[in-house]
Amino acid sequence: QKAVMQIVLCVEDGCTVDANTERASYVWDYLIERFQSTSMLGKTLLKQDLSNTRYEDTVPMTDHLADLRSKRARCANANIQVPDDEFAMIIVQSLPRSWDNVAGAIPEGATANDVCNRLLLKEKRRNAVGNARAGRSDRALLTLSRSSSRSNLRSLTRPASPTDEAD
């Protein structure tokens, strides 16, 4: 009865569930039957959502891959099979043009796990290179700042030339 009450409390308002049922499995089966996407349109929308997911460089790759896996799991819950080789292609297809060199290096027949590992490794390398470049540009700005300060200091301390006095 306690499990039934937990389920009833988690159901959105407006959905009627019989709280007097003795077994939680009956309530759960009812909810699955009523809300699980089993229509052709529902299944089509789930598959489109998975296939149309796109990666944005501002989002960590781990988040993007987790999103794709979650959408694949939703498809599986609706009895839509997404084989591993198809899922691997969907992952590659989700990448922007800036990742074409990575996508081109993935061998034919690679599993979805292989693709995920390559993408995570590439993101790690990109981040390392980006951090190294940021460090170099910070040093370059510091060096430029120091050299311009020295030239300003020299111009303040050098004696005036005869042409400066003529003006």
Decide if pLDDT at 167 tops 60: no
41 pLDDT band (50/70/90 cuts)? confident
Q: What is the pLDDT of residue 40?
A: 83
What digits encode the pLDDT tens for the residues 107-161? 999 999 999 999 999 999 988 887 776 665 555 555 555 555 445 444 444 555 5
What digits encode the pLDDT tens for the residues 57-90? 899 999 999 999 999 998 998 889 999 999 999 9
**SS3 of the chain:** CHHHHHHHHHCCCCCCCCCCCCCHHHHHHHHHHHHCCCCHHHHHHHHHHHHCCCCCCCCCHHHHHHHHHHHHHHHHHCCCCCCHHHHHHHHHHCCCHHHHHHHHCCCCCCCHHHHHHHHHHHHHHHHHHHHHHHHHHHHHHHHHHHHHHHHHHHHHHCCCCHHHHHC
Give 92 or 79, the one with higher predicted confidence: 92
Give 63 or 39, the one with higher predicted confidence: 63
14 pLDDT band (50/70/90 cuts)? low
Give 153 or 14, the one with higher predicted confidence: 14
